[in-house]
Amino acid sequence: MTADDSYDRLDDDDYPAYTMGRAAEMLGTTQGFLRAIGEARLITPLRSAGGHRRYSRYQLRIAARARGLVDRGTPIEAACRIVILEDQLEEAQRINTEYRRAAESAGPTTAA
C-alpha cells in the first residue's frame, strides 16, 4: 500500500480506522458499552492483525444512535433492537418508494 492509497481511505466511512479506546472516547462512552452493542449484534467491529477491535465512522454513527437511547433510559439490548428496526423500516420504505416510481413510470395497466 502506498501513501496515496492510505489517504484515499480517509474519506471511506467503512474503513475501520478507530481503535476501541478512540471510538469510546469519541462517543463519550466506555469500552464496555462498545462491547455490549457488539454482543447485541448492532455492530460487528473488524479485527486488526493483532486481534484488536477496529471501528469505522459508519459504525460509530450507529453506536451514537444507540447511546442516545441508552442515555434516555432505554436498556442496551432494547436500544440496539430499536436502531436495527428503524434501519429496516427505512430500507423497506425506500424499496416501496422505488416500486411506486417504477409502477407510475410504467403507466396504467389494462385489465384483461
Q: Locate 66 and state its grid cell.
A: 444507540
State how far the Cα of 82 lies from the Cα of 89, in Å rounded to an integer. 10
Residue 7 pLDDT class (50, 70, 90 cuts): low
Confidence (pLDDT) at 111: 60
Confidence (pLDDT) at 5: 59
Interior CA angle at 31 toward 57 and 44, to 5°? 50
pLDDT tens for 52-106 read 999 999 999 999 999 999 999 999 999 999 999 999 999 999 999 999 999 999 8
The DSSP secondary structure of 19-49, one letter per residue, reads EHHHHHHHHTS-HHHHHHHHHTTS---EE-T
| Cα separations in angstroms, 10 against 18, 21, 25, 26, 36 | 11, 19, 19, 17, 27
